[in-house]
Amino acid sequence: MNFSTEKSGDKLRLYLRGEIDHHNAADVRTRIDRILETELPGVFYFNLSGVTFCDSSGLGLVMGRMRKCAMQDTSLIVEAPSEAVMKILNIAGMDKLLRIERSNGNGKAS
């Protein structure tokens, strides 16, 4: 699993790609947190459009980044989850705790 980032002003968008399971989540979590700490963005767009598989480890990843962002006063917006990813987020009631944009937010970073 891999990701790329895009910065514009104090907004940071991260495109996550691949399968999120327990095996992949640990490594990617550390790398994302390092970027969040160094960039300290005002808004963090967590773009999940490239995620092809997600189990409850992905849920843990999102919940953890939610906590992380809250601690450093970064607004978190989860973007473009697929139907399957959305289903997992809904089971945990994340749709009520998080700002989730169903569409791909390209060009909205400004």
Partner 1 sequence: MARRADPISNSMKCVFPARSINEGFARMAVAAFVAQLDPPVSVLSDLKTAVSEAVTNCIVHAYRDADSKTDCPIYITAVCTAGGLLRITVRDKGKGIPDVALARTPLYTTDAEGERSGMGFTVMESFTDRLRVRSAVGKGTTVVLEKQVGR
- Taking the complex as a whole, how short is the minimal distance between the CB of residue 15 and partner 1, in angstroms? 21
Question: Sheet harboring 99-101: ordered strands across?
Answer: 2-8, 11-20, 43-54, 75-79, 99-101
Burial class of 56 by CB neighbour count within 10 A (0 to 12, 13 to 18, 19+): middle
- Taking the complex as a whole, how short is the minimal distance between the CB of residue 55 and partner 1, in angstroms? 4
Binding site for partner 1 (CB under 8 A): 19, 21-23, 25, 29, 53-57, 59-61, 63-64, 83-84, 88, 91-92
CA dist 53 and 64 (Å) reads: 18
- Taking the complex as a whole, how short is the minimal distance between the CB of residue 20 and partner 1, in angstroms? 10
Q: Which is nearer to partner 1, 40 or 84 (by Cβ)?
A: 84
